[in-house]
Amino acid sequence: MNAKDAMLAELRARDPRLSLGQKFYTDPDFYRLDLETIFYRDWMFAGHDCEIPAPGDYFTMTIGDYPIIVVRGQDGAIRALHNSCRHRGSRICPEPRGTAKRLVCPYHQWTYALDGELIRTRHMEGAIDKTQFGLKSAHCESVGGYIFVCVAPVAPSFEPFRALAAGYFAPHRIADAKLAFESTIVENGNWKLVWENNRECYHCAANHPELCRTFPEAPAVTGVDGVIDNPEIRAHWDRCEAAGLPSMFRLSESGQYRVCRVPLLGEAVSYTMSGRAAVSHPLSDVVTEPRIGSLLMFHFPTIWNHVLGDHVCTFRVLPIGPMQTQLTSKWLVHKDAVEGKDYTIEELTRVWRATNSEDQHVVEENQIGIRSPAYEPGPYAPEQEDGVTQFVDWYCRTMQRGLGGAQANISRVA
């Protein structure tokens, strides 16, 4: 039986009350199917508009086997280009970010304009038609300061997500913020384990002493069931919506993305040890409501985030192997906020850097246990882990549809 048929068989036989089978977290062929069916077909979060404010600014990322350059052109447009020279394929931009007037391959100095046009071929002028050898483009879209890339030949429509998210992001002026700090770690765990851990706070009290000072571990906050009926959250929505901040829980029909504003604990206004603001300069000049909590957004399979009154935390998930995942965290502040005066990197990042390290540990321990021949799927906690089952249901539906199989067993309809 080939990998596709083996995965479809497991999906059809799946008990949605239980965690996934071992192969979904360990098998190289199953991992390859994840890449080909999800990561190479859909929209992946890349970064933020504000990371590349001027023409020639760029950053790089890798989606599976696809190295990508995200660059702002001379016309101000943001583009995604395949980071592979059209001469003999060398990677053009090896650094994570930079600024360039042109994109020059370091191997043989083939030179490209910022829009990918081939403009110089050393010692080959006149030998080829340069119009046929520009850098290949990937699809690129931006909404509310968030850049997404799709490497598929034909991208799915981005408009449903834009329509849902734009109004929530707009008051925060994220496109006009600036990157204060970035951190990348590699977790020795399958990408789905990273997401499953994120989608519940069942583990938080025992593992996240810093985060639990300000972030509520209530299932209604991390999950998708019960949030609409939670009186504290509804009161928070009413107050924020009255201040012009879209806040209510909205989940896409597919279950792929969600936005919702939630209160923090007590009088907390930010993710700090004290609960006080990490940045004295507010994130947005037009948001004056003092306690807006956190605007939560996830978009499977690559981003979750928190937008607060003083800063933004963004987390990008990219698989780099069957049992390895790259997690990149970005902290954004107002473009005029001054490090050392309005904020310190230590105070701004302390809680989430600690939380990331703690999550790395639990994910890696989870992966080690799943690799055991004794592992078998176990039952989800219905109330505490409904966010996990919602993610797993989305994954199973997406894989079965992409592989051409019948509908997988699911625990709910998104």
Q: Lowest-pLDDT range, 318-332, 354-368, 394-408?
A: 394-408
Bigger pLDDT: 407 vs 11: 11
- Mean pLDDT over residues 141-145, rounded? 98
Among 47-51, 128-132, 217-221, the range with the most confident prediction by mean pLDDT is: 47-51
Report the distance separating Cα 280 and Cα 343, nearest Å: 7
Q: Is the per-residue pLDDT at 259 higher than 70?
A: yes
Q: State the chain's mean pLDDT as an integer.
A: 95
Q: How far separated are the first and last CA of the chain, in Å rounded? A: 32
Does pLDDT of 414 surpass 60?
no
Q: 377 is written with which tokens? A: 């799927």
Residue 378 CA to residue 365 CA, distance in Å, equals 16
Task: Please give the Cα distance from 178 to 72 (Å, whole number).
Answer: 15
Helices 191-198, 386-403: inter-axial angle, 10-degree rounding: 140
Give whole-number Cα distances, 202 to 114, 217, 279, 347, in Å.
47, 7, 29, 26
Evaluate the omega torsion of the peptide bond into residue 282 and state whether it is cis, within 30 degrees of 0: no
pLDDT at 409: 52
Residue count of the chain, please give it: 414
| Confidence category of residue 29, pLDDT binned at 50, 70, 90 | very high
- pLDDT band of 411, cuts 50, 70, 90: low
Kindly report the number of other CB atoms within 10 A of residue 383's CB atom: 12
Q: Give pLDDT, residue 413.
A: 39
**Residue 45: is it exposed, middle or buried by C-beta count within 10 angstroms (0-12/13-18/19+)?**
buried
Q: Which residues contact 317 (CB under 8 A, 6 or more apart)?
A: 191, 194, 195, 301, 302, 303, 304, 325, 326, 327
pLDDT score recorded for residue 228: 79
- Residue predicted with more confidence, 411 or 304: 304
CB of 70 closer than 8 Å to CB of 47: yes
**Which pLDDT score, from 0 to 100, does residue 125 have?**
84
- Cα–Cα distance, 163 to 406 (Å, whole number): 30
User: How many angstroms separate the CA atoms of 63 and 97, rounded?
Assistant: 16
Output DSSP code: residue 407: P
**Which run of H or of E encompasses 31?**
helix 28-34
What tokens does 398 get?
């997406």
Q: How far apart are CA 321 and CA 323, in angstroms?
A: 5
Tens of pLDDT along 303-339? 999 999 999 999 999 999 999 999 999 999 999 999 9
Residue 88 in this model has a pLDDT that exceeds 60: yes
| Residue 168 tokens, joined | 């929530």
- Per the CB < 8 A criterion, the answer to whether 407 and 397 are in contact is yes
Average confidence (pLDDT) over 265-280: 97
pLDDT tens digits, 91-113 = 999 999 999 999 999 999 999 99
For residues 59-66, average pLDDT: 98
Please say if the pLDDT value at position 406 is more than 60: no
Average pLDDT over residues 120-148: 95
412 pLDDT tier (thresholds 50, 70, 90): very low
For the chain, give the percent of residues with pLDDT over 90: 92
